[in-house]
A and B are shown apart, each in its own frame.
Chain A
Amino acid sequence: MKKISGSDAIMQVLLNEGVQTIFGYPGGAIMPIYDALYDYSDKLNHILARHEQGAIHAAQGYSRVSGKVGVCFATSGPGATNLITGLADAQIDSTPLVCITGQVPSHLLGTDAFQESDVIGISMPVTKWNHQITNADEIPEIMSKAFYIAASGRPGPVLIDITKDAQFAKMKFTYKKCEKIRSYHPYPILNKDSIKKASDLINNSKKPLILVGQGVLLSNAEKELIQFSEKSGIPMASTLLGLSAISCNHKNYVGYLGMHGNYGPNIKTNEADLLIAIGMRFDDRVTGDTSRYGINAKIIHIEIDPSEINKIIKADVAVNADAKQALINLLPFINKNEYKNWINEFKKCDEIEFNKIIKKELNHKSKKIKMTEVIHLISEMTNGKSIIVTDVGQHQMIASRYYKFTKPKSNITSGGLGTMGFALPASMGAKLGQPKREVIAIIGDGGIQMTIQELATISQYNIGVKIIILNNNFLGMVRQWQELFFENRYSFTEMKNPDFPKIAEGYGIKNNKVENKSKLKKCIKELLDYKNAYLLEIVVEKEENVFPMVASGDSVSNIRLE
C-alpha cells in the first residue's frame, strides 16, 4: 500500500466525510495541511477568512443553515486562540463543527516554542470533545471520531490539534466511518413509559403550551411538530433559537418566548397547566425568575441531553430522546383535540401588544426610521422566506420579533453566548451553505465593527449576502439598560462611527445609506434586487427601546409593555 502524508490523509478524511467547504486561515504550524489542500482545490472549496474568528463564525453559519458539520482550519498559537469565542458560541448553541488546528512539532511541545499555546487545555471547557494528534497513524480513527461526535446526539464543536511532524509523516491510509464509541451514547433509548406518562398529561390538560427549541430544527422534526400540534390542538411558542422551526403564520403559533418575546406566550406561561418543552434548555432569558416560572404548570421535558433535564426546571415527565423520535412515538397516544378558547386568549394578548407597542412602532409620524419598521418591511418584501442572520443587541431582538419566518433553518443568531461580531461572518457561511436562498445579515453599528474585516472575504469570493447596518450610533441594548436600570448614565455606549458606505466602497462592495423614511422602501428593494453582496446603512432613531421586556431576574408574568 502506498503511503501518504498526514496532511493528505486529512484531505482524504474530509472527502470521505462529504465536506465541500472549509473556512480557514493559514500559518506556520498548519502549512503542510495547506500545502496538501493546494492539490484538492477542485474538490474542496476553501474560503480564506480575514480572521480566525471570522472563519469559525462562517463555519457556524454554514452548519446552521445546511445541517452539515462546519469545518474550520487555523494555525497554532494565536490562530487557535482566535477560535475560542466561536467554539464557546457553537458549544452553547449546539452547532456541529470540526476545527483543525496546527501545532508545533511534537518534540517542541511544552517548550514555549514560537506560536505554541496549550490549545487542548484552553479549548477543553468550550468543546464537546478535543484531541491532539502527534502521530499520523492516528489521523483516520481520530478524525472519524471527531465527525461522529460533532454531529451526533446533541451536536457541538470538536477541536483536533495536529502537530506539524504528524502532518508531514507518512502513513498507510484506510478509512472507516466511526459508528460507535463505547463511552459515548448520543441517542438515549426511548423510555416508552415516559411517552405514556407524557401523553396522559397532554390528554388531560386544559391549558397546555408547547415550547419549541432549536432541538426541533437540529433533529429535523419540523413536520412532526406540526402534526403533533395540529392533532392535539396545542398552541406553540418558540425560543430565540427555535424561531423558524414553524412558520409564524401557522394557526397554532402564538409567538416568541423570553425577555423581549411576545406578551402572550410570556404571561401565559404562568397560566398554562402544562408546558411541553421540546429541545430547549430553559435558558434564563426564557424563564426569568425560575421560582416564578410555570407556576401552575406540570412540565414535560423532551430533551436529548440528559444533563439538561432537571438542570433549571424540574420535569414532571422527562422524555430523554431525540425530538423527532419522541414526537413520532408520542403522536399515536395523543387524542385529537382543540383549544379554541385558550388560543383566543393568546390572540387577545397579541391585540394588547399590537395596540401598546407594534402600532406605535410601525405608524409613527417621525421622519426618522425605526428599527422595527425596517424589519417589518424586509419581512413583507421577502414574504418571510429569507435567511436572517443577526448579531447581538437591540436589532437582534427586533429582528426576532418582527421577521415572520416561514421556512425552517432561517434564523441564524448567536443565542446562548451572545457574541457580537457573529453576524457578518456567519452570514457568509450561511450564503455558502444555502447559495440559492436570500441571506440577509442584520447588524448593529457596534457588532459590525467587531468583524468588519470579513467584508474582504465577501468581496474576494463574491458571496452575495445582503448586509444591513442598523446604525443608531449607540451600543443600543446596553444603552437601553443604562436608561432603565442605571439612571440614564450612558457610560461608554455612544459611538462615533466610520462612514460605512465608504468602507464598503473600499472593499469593492456595492453600498448605500438611507436616513429618510420616505426612501427606505426603495433602498431596501434595491438591496434585495441586487445580485451580489450589498451593504446598506440605515440610520435609525438614536434612543429606541425594545419592548416588551422581562427585566433580568423578574418573573415572566411581570413582562413590561412600556
Chain B
Amino acid sequence: MKKKGIYQFKSSKKESKEYTLSVLTENKAGLLNHLTIIFNRRKINIDSLNVSTTEIKGVSRFTIVVQANKEKIIKILNQINKLIDVLGAFLYEEGETYYQEIALYKLSTKIFLKGDNVEKIVRKNGAKILIIEEDHTIIQKTGTKLETQKLYNELEKFGSILEFVRSGRVAVSKSKRKTKNFIKELEKIKSNKLNIK
C-alpha cells in the first residue's frame, strides 16, 4: 500500500487477527509517541514493537504487531500514513512476511554439568550457546514466538532459567519492493502542490 493511496477494504470482517505493520519514518524524536497515541486512542494494545534505524541514513523502521479486525487496522494504517513524518506504512497479514524474534535464556552453568540433557535440548531446538561463564550460561534462539516459547518450556523443566528476554518482531515482506527505490519514488512524486489545469 502506497502512502498516497486509499486502502480499499473488500470485506469488513469483524474477527480479530494478528497483523504486522511495517512503518518507514524520518528519524525524528517523538514519532514513537505519535504512533502509540494512534493505537491508544482506539484501545488497541501493541503486542510487539521494534524500532531501529535502517540501512538508509535518516530513515527508521517501526515493526508493530497487533491484534485487530481488518476494518480497524486499515483505519489505523491510514492514520499512521497521515503523520507528516511517516514515509510509508505497510500492512501484512500472517503469511505475507518472513519474521523472527530473538530470545536469550540465562541458565545456571551447573545444569550443564549434570549430563548432556540440556545441551541436547539446545541443539534440537536450533539454539546456540552464546557465552559460558563460571556461574551462568547464555543460550540464544531466533524464531517465532511459538519456537522460542517451546525452548523456554523445555528448559523450564530443569527449573533453572535465571532470566529470559524476548525481542520484538522483525519482519521482511515477501513483496519485491526495494526500500531504497520506494524512498526514491516518494521523492519524485509531484503531489507537493496543487496543479489545476
**What is A's interface to B at a CB cutoff of 8 Å?**
120-121, 124-125, 128-129, 149, 152, 179-189, 305-307, 309-311, 314, 318, 320, 322, 324-325, 328
**9 A-B pairs whose Cβ atoms sit less than 8 Å apart in the complex:** A121-B30, A124-B34, A179-B193, A180-B192, A181-B192, A183-B26, A183-B186, A187-B195, A307-B79
Q: Which residues of B contact A120 (CB under 8 A)?
A: 30
* B192 x A183 contact (CB < 8 A): no
Q: Which residues of A contact B79 (CB under 8 A)?
A: 307
Q: Which of B81-89, B118-126, B131-139 contacts A (4 or more CB under 8 A)?
A: B81-89
Distance of A152 Cα from B183 Cα, bound (Å): 21
* A320 x B30 contact (CB < 8 A): no
Q: Is the interface of B mostly helix, strand, loop or mixed?
A: loop
Q: Does B6 touch A at the CB level, under 8 Å?
A: yes
Q: For residue B179, give the distance in angstroms from its CB to the closest CB of chain A.
A: 14
Q: Which residues of B contact A306 (CB under 8 A)?
A: 4-6, 78, 81-82
* A149 x B84 contact (CB < 8 A): yes
Q: Does B175 touch A at the CB level, under 8 Å?
A: no
Q: Does B194 touch A at the CB level, under 8 Å?
A: yes
* B191 x A189 contact (CB < 8 A): yes
If A121-B33, A183-B85, A186-B191 touch, does A310 touch B6 (CB 8 Å cutoff)?
yes
If A182-B183, A186-B192, A307-B75 touch, does A129 touch B84 (CB 8 Å cutoff)?
yes
- Which are the 5 A-B pairs with shortest beta-carbon distances? A307-B78, A185-B191, A180-B192, A129-B84, A183-B87
B-side interface residues, number (CB < 8 Å): 37
A307: contacting residue among B8, B37, B82, B84, CB under 8 A: B82
Q: Does B187 touch A at the CB level, under 8 Å?
A: yes
Q: For residue A294, give the distance in angstroms from its CB to the closest CB of chain B.
A: 16
* A318 x B6 contact (CB < 8 A): yes
Q: Which residues of B contact A184 (CB under 8 A)?
A: 84, 192
* B196 x A324 contact (CB < 8 A): yes
Q: Which residues of A contact B194 (CB under 8 A)?
A: 187, 322, 324-325
Nearest residue, chain A, Cβ from B186: A182
Q: Does B190 touch A at the CB level, under 8 Å?
A: yes
Q: Which residues of B contact A121 (CB under 8 A)?
A: 30, 33
If A149-B84, A182-B187, A187-B191 touch, does A310 touch B9 (CB 8 Å cutoff)?
yes
Distance of A325 Cα from B189 Cα, bound (Å): 18
Q: For residue A416, give the distance in angstroms from its CB to the closest CB of chain B.
A: 15
Nearest residue, chain B, Cβ from A189: B191
Distance of A186 Cα from B87 Cα, bound (Å): 13
Q: For residue B8, give the distance in angstroms from its CB to the closest CB of chain A.
A: 7
Q: For residue B87, give the distance in angstroms from its CB to the closest CB of chain A.
A: 5
* A311 x B186 contact (CB < 8 A): no
* B193 x A187 contact (CB < 8 A): yes
Nearest residue, chain B, Cβ from A304: B194
Distance of A322 Cα from B193 Cα, bound (Å): 11
* B189 x A189 contact (CB < 8 A): yes
Distance of A184 Cα from B194 Cα, bound (Å): 13
* B193 x A152 contact (CB < 8 A): yes
Nearest residue, chain B, Cβ from A194: B6
Which residues of chain B from 64 to 93 have a CB within 8 Å of any chain A CB?
74-75, 78-79, 81-82, 84-87
Q: Which residues of A contact B57 (CB under 8 A)?
A: none
Q: 7 more A-B contacts (CB under 8 A) besides A129-B85, A183-B86?
A: A306-B5, A307-B75, A310-B6, A310-B7, A320-B5, A322-B196, A328-B196
Distance of A184 Cα from B193 Cα, bound (Å): 11
Distance of A189 Cα from B85 Cα, bound (Å): 19
Q: Which residues of A contact B5 (CB under 8 A)?
A: 306, 320
* B191 x A188 contact (CB < 8 A): yes
Q: For residue B119, give the distance in angstroms from its CB to the closest CB of chain A.
A: 48
Nearest residue, chain A, Cβ from B78: A307
Distance of A307 Cα from B4 Cα, bound (Å): 10
If A149-B84, A306-B4, A310-B9 touch, does A125 touch B37 (CB 8 Å cutoff)?
yes
Q: Which residues of A contact B193 (CB under 8 A)?
A: 152, 179, 186-187
Nearest residue, chain B, Cβ from A125: B37
Distance of A485 Cα from B93 Cα, bound (Å): 45
Which of A120, A183, A311, A318 has most B Cβ within 10 Å?
A183
Q: Which residues of B contact A125 (CB under 8 A)?
A: 37, 41
Q: Which residues of B contact A152 (CB under 8 A)?
A: 192-193
Q: Does B63 touch A at the CB level, under 8 Å?
A: no
Nearest residue, chain A, Cβ from B184: A182
Distance of A451 Cα from B174 Cα, bound (Å): 57
If A121-B33, A124-B30, A306-B6 touch, does A181 touch B84 (CB 8 Å cutoff)?
yes
Distance of A120 Cα from B86 Cα, bound (Å): 17
* A189 x B190 contact (CB < 8 A): yes
Q: For residue B70, give the distance in angstroms from its CB to the closest CB of chain A.
A: 12
* A182 x B87 contact (CB < 8 A): yes
Q: Which residues of B contact A182 (CB under 8 A)?
A: 87, 183, 186-187
Q: Which residues of A contact B166 (CB under 8 A)?
A: none
Q: Which residues of B contact A187 (CB under 8 A)?
A: 191-195
Distance of A188 Cα from B6 Cα, bound (Å): 10
Q: Does B25 touch A at the CB level, under 8 Å?
A: yes
Which of A152, A186, A305, A310 has most B Cβ within 10 Å?
A310
Q: Does B3 touch A at the CB level, under 8 Å?
A: yes
Distance of A306 Cα from B83 Cα, bound (Å): 12
Nearest residue, chain A, Cβ from B3: A185
B84: contacting residue among A183, A188, A325, CB under 8 A: A183
Nearest residue, chain A, Cβ from B79: A307
Q: Which residues of B contact A324 (CB under 8 A)?
A: 194, 196
Which of A181, A305, A306, A314 has most B Cβ within 10 Å?
A306
Q: Which residues of A contact B78 (CB under 8 A)?
A: 306-307, 311
Distance of A320 Cα from B191 Cα, bound (Å): 12
Q: Which residues of B contact A149 (CB under 8 A)?
A: 84
Nearest residue, chain A, Cβ from B197: A328
Q: Which residues of B contact A318 (CB under 8 A)?
A: 6
Distance of A556 Cα from B8 Cα, bound (Å): 27
Distance of A314 Cα from B192 Cα, bound (Å): 27
One digit per residue, 1 when the CB lies within 8 angstroms of any chain A CB and 0 when it does not, for chain B 35-54 equals: 00100010000000000000
If A181-B84, A183-B26 touch, does A325 touch B196 (CB 8 Å cutoff)?
yes
Distance of A121 Cα from B29 Cα, bound (Å): 11
Q: For residue B9, give the distance in angstroms from its CB to the closest CB of chain A.
A: 7
Q: Which residues of B contact A124 (CB under 8 A)?
A: 30, 33-34, 37
Q: Which residues of A contact B74 (CB under 8 A)?
A: 310
Distance of A309 Cα from B8 Cα, bound (Å): 9
Q: Which residues of B contact A320 (CB under 8 A)?
A: 5-6
Distance of A121 Cα from B191 Cα, bound (Å): 29
Q: For residue A42, give the distance in angstroms from its CB to the closest CB of chain B.
A: 32
